[in-house]
Amino acid sequence: MSKIRVLHYINQFFGGIGGEEKADVPPSLREGKVGPGMAIQGAFRDEAEVVSTIICGDSYFNENLDEAKAQILQMVKDVNPDLFIAGPAFNAGRYGVACATIAAAVKEELGIPAITAMYEENPGVDLFRKQLEIVKTANSAAGMRDAVNNLVPLALKLARGEEVLGPEEEGYFPRGIRVNYFAEERGSARAVDMLLKKIKGEDFETEYPMPVFDRVDPAAPLKDLASATIALVTSGGIVPKGNPDHIESSNASKYGSYSLEGFNDLTSETHETAHGGYDPVYANQDPDRVLPVDVLREMEAAGEIGKLHNMFYTTVGNGTAVASAKKFASEIAQKLLSAGVDAVILTST
């Protein structure tokens, strides 16, 4: 019996090309296994072979989506594998989106079994969990061994066309697919059993998990706007001209803090947006459309507010991981509290 031929997709970091400074490299095809492909090959044993590896920079893929997809799909056609594996991407947001995007395209457009793996807070999970199996991983490459060991058995099932069991049995994220089955006990008995366990404080597993939403208590209203210090924070990506901290246009890994001293107005000569995913023309023509410094300076001069805080904080919301956004918010909030800021205007795109 011939081995299953596998094509593996990885980014510039795992491909050994470089870090963020090489994130703009276009896709290339290499023969054989590279980086984590070696661990995947080891887990396959003699059942499958990683015949080729595609390497593409995270920034290149996300900023040239249509072109990158077309280039990579052509490479997949040329190799004509039995199975396509992307990642694992762990909690790397742009990498995760790239892995899920191209795996879904390979599956849907070429009809080749495809799979990827990443951490639960990676934006690629929510974007593509309904389209393909995404195996659960730890949040960093320190969990590579477990990620590969969980990925390979399911990947082989997909390649062989075998029955894929539920997410709990196979270790992938739920896809929202409900399957009929015959239970040993009727529903009423199972419900009473769960209720009794809940009353007793015992562990039980619901058959219909409900979504969990964060609840945030609103802050108390300002007592005196005329004496309040107001700060500006944005996920719209407004940065000084040239984007000095190189905040990514998608799946941001950082935020920036910049002075507003001496600025009564933001112009195309002084500021721009780093945000991808929307037409930046109007934001670049007048950055005040996203970060309203001009209006707040007018209110400050008129005595309607105490003053505009001398720093603004900015990042990009486009595809940014929830975990990253929470981390940014926590750090920014502490800085604002330490500076005696009374209220924040948070703007988006």
Homologous superfamily of domain range 4-170: Response regulator (3.40.50.2300)
What are 112's two structure tokens?
């080749």
What is the pTM for the complete model shown? 0.66
Query: Tens digits of per-residue pLDDT, 235-291?
Result: 999 999 999 999 988 778 899 999 999 999 999 999 999 998 778 899 999 999 999
What are 42's two structure tokens?
């080891």
pLDDT for 1 equals 60
Q: What is the DSSP string of 178-204?
A: ------SS-HHHHHHHHHHHHHHT---
Any idea which residue has 């900023």 for tokens? 63
Any idea which residue has 């039980």 for tokens? 204
What are 241's two structure tokens?
């001209």
Q: What percent of the chain has pLDDT over 70?
A: 100
Q: What type of residue is 183?
A: A
Question: What whole-number distance in Å separates Cα of residue 254 and Cα of residue 316?
Answer: 9
The residue ranges of every structural domain in the chain are: 4-170, 225-347
Measured between alpha carbons, how far is residue 209 from residues 126, 137, 156 in Å? 17, 21, 29
Query: Tens digits of per-residue pLDDT, 52-74?
Result: 999 999 989 988 999 999 999 99
Q: Considering only CA atoms, which of 50, 59, 121 is closest in space to residue 86?
A: 50
Chain mean pLDDT for the chain: 92
Q: How high is the mean pLDDT in each 10-residue block of the chain (349 residues)?
A: 91 91 93 95 94 95 92 97 95 90 96 96 88 93 93 96 89 83 87 93 84 81 93 96 91 91 96 88 95 97 96 89 83 96 93
